[in-house]
Amino acid sequence: MSKKKKNILEMTAIYTIIGIMFVIILYPLLWAVGVSLNPGTGLYGAKIIPENWSLVHYEWLFFDARSNYLVWYRNTLFVAISVSFLATFFVGITAYAFSRYRFKGRKYGLYAFLLLQMFPILMAMVALYILLNTVNLLDSLIGLIIIYIGGAIPMNAFLVKGYFDTLPRELDESAKIDGAGHFRIFFQILLPLAKPILAVVALFNFMAPFMDFILPRIVLRSPENFTLALGLFNMVNDQFANTFTRFAAGSILIAVPIALVFLYLQKYLISGLASGATKG
């Protein structure tokens, strides 16, 4: 087989795989959008391209007195923003300490981070439930935020530490000669250089509360404290409920803040990929 034919076959196989994956990803999304625009309330008779499309379900979510969608959206945004900011801060501080300093227990701390990454958070659900109940943070958004932050530190700190290790230590030494302290070195020198990897951490931790269902299901009890995933599940899971089209409309709107944050952090994500390819 000639080299030209071999290249054609390789490109055909690549584009075929890409096309299949594109259909797998796009088809459910189109169905969700189509169902959300169908005027009915059930899946029976719903079409991917509705003949008489309507925004009635979006109007119901935002303006109907029986809808708690805005409350769920507000709760989720509060949790997502808090977790994204605080987790990124604590991850950055922790990674900086493990990367730049040698202290007693550092080695075992890194081993603990590796060990904690191996076990899913589901294994600790009972312990977390008891802990939150003990400190009166059960059915509280603050308790949910604390768990998200604690769960984000081990894996992300190990990741950010690897990035800090690629930054030359001469920067720290030069700053110390000029009289800079530890916090000034971190906030004014290393933190700006670590924006790409911290942007990745911030994005992942912002997305988590929008996508997670199991943890809010265990922690939250009151409807006024529900996040979007838990609220939409209960809405469609109620006995005799026939609200699949409203569920689809609410699910589509979840993507809006995630897309906005992704677009805002895109320049840092791209620069992170570029810098990661050149640093050794």
* pLDDT given for residue 272 in this prediction: 53
Q: What DSSP assignment string belongs to 77-104?
A: HHHHHHHHHHHHHHHHHHHHHHHH---T
* pLDDT given for residue 271 in this prediction: 61
The winner for highest mean pLDDT among 56-65, 240-249, 267-276 is 56-65
Residue 250 has pLDDT above 60, yes or no: yes
Percent over 90 (pLDDT), the chain: 33
* pLDDT given for residue 276 in this prediction: 42
How far CA 218 is from CA of 67, 84, 133, in Å, comes to: 22, 21, 11
Structure tokens at 70: 């805005």
Residue 241 has pLDDT above 70, yes or no: no
Q: Which residues contact 37 (CB under 8 A, 6 or more apart)?
A: 50, 53, 54, 55, 57
Residue 220 has pLDDT above 80, yes or no: yes
Residue 7 has pLDDT above 50, yes or no: yes
Q: Which residues of 127-143 are buried (b: 16+ CB within 10 A; e: fewer)?
A: ebeeebeeeebbebbeb
* pLDDT given for residue 170 in this prediction: 86
* pLDDT given for residue 203 in this prediction: 92
d(CA 219, CA 225): 10
* pLDDT given for residue 1 in this prediction: 62
Each residue's pLDDT tens digit, 21-73:
988 888 888 888 888 888 776 666 666 777 778 888 899 899 988 889 999 99
Average pLDDT over residues 143-149: 93
Q: Which residues contact 137 (CB under 8 A, 6 or more apart)?
A: 143, 146
* pLDDT given for residue 19 in this prediction: 92
Average pLDDT over residues 79-92: 95
Largest CA distance in the chain: 73
Q: What DSSP assignment string belongs to 97-140?
A: HHHH---TTHHHHHHHHHHHHTS-GGGGHHHHHHHHHHTT-TT-
62: nearest Cα among 245, 233, 220, 249: 249
Alpha carbon 88 to its chain's center:
12
Average pLDDT over residues 133-152: 92
